[in-house]
Amino acid sequence: MRTALSLPSPLRPGPFELFVRRGAVKLPEGKRFQVHLGFNDWSCGVQTCDLLPSGLDLAEGDEPVLAALGSIPDGASGMKLVFTNGEAWDNNSGKDYCLDESGKAVP
């Protein structure tokens, strides 16, 4: 199983970097890639961040890695995120992508 996301664990208030393998985002090329994220079931800290080339080489083919800068609010107990290319959305088939309070992916 390939991990699409990386962030501090457990969720700690403050800035963080989010790394996403381009292949994990199920969207065609578009105007620009962004991640829309929120905490505590979208009830706080909702933000939209640009996903930009990270320059990281993870030695797994030529799949680019994108990066975004976000901020975790005080009292965050989980994070949900969805991706957009400016025209369409990848929301994990309506389930959103989720991380629990320890920073682990939730199916």
Reported as a single tens digit per residue, the pLDDT across 34-76 is 999 999 999 999 999 999 999 887 656 677 889 999 999 998 8
User: The tokens of 23 are what?
Assistant: 């292949």
In terms of residue numbers, what domain contains 42? 14-95
Please indicate, yes or no, if residue 57 is contained in any of the structural domains: yes
Rounded Cα distance between 57 and 25, Å, is 17
Please indicate, yes or no, if residue 82 is contained in any of the structural domains: yes
pLDDT for 75: 87
Please indicate, yes or no, if residue 65 is contained in any of the structural domains: yes
Q: What percent of the chain is predicted at pLDDT more than 70? A: 86
Please indicate, yes or no, if residue 102 is contained in any of the structural domains: no
Number of structural domains (the chain) is 1
Please indicate, yes or no, if residue 8 is contained in any of the structural domains: no
Region for residue 38 given its phi and psi (left: phi exceeds 0; alpha: psi -120 to 50; beta: otherwise): beta
* DSSP-based helix, strand, coil % in the chain, nearest 5: 5, 45, 50
User: What CATH number is associated with residue 34?
Assistant: 2.60.40
Please indicate, yes or no, if residue 44 is contained in any of the structural domains: yes
Q: Map tokens 């959103």 to a residue.
A: 96
3-9 mean pLDDT: 50
Q: Which residue has the higher pLDDT, 90 or 5?
A: 90
Please indicate, yes or no, if residue 40 is contained in any of the structural domains: yes
Q: Which residue has the higher pLDDT, 101 or 80?
A: 80
- pTM for the whole structure: 0.81
The answer, yes or no, to whether residue 4 has pLDDT greater than 90, is no
pLDDT for 73: 93
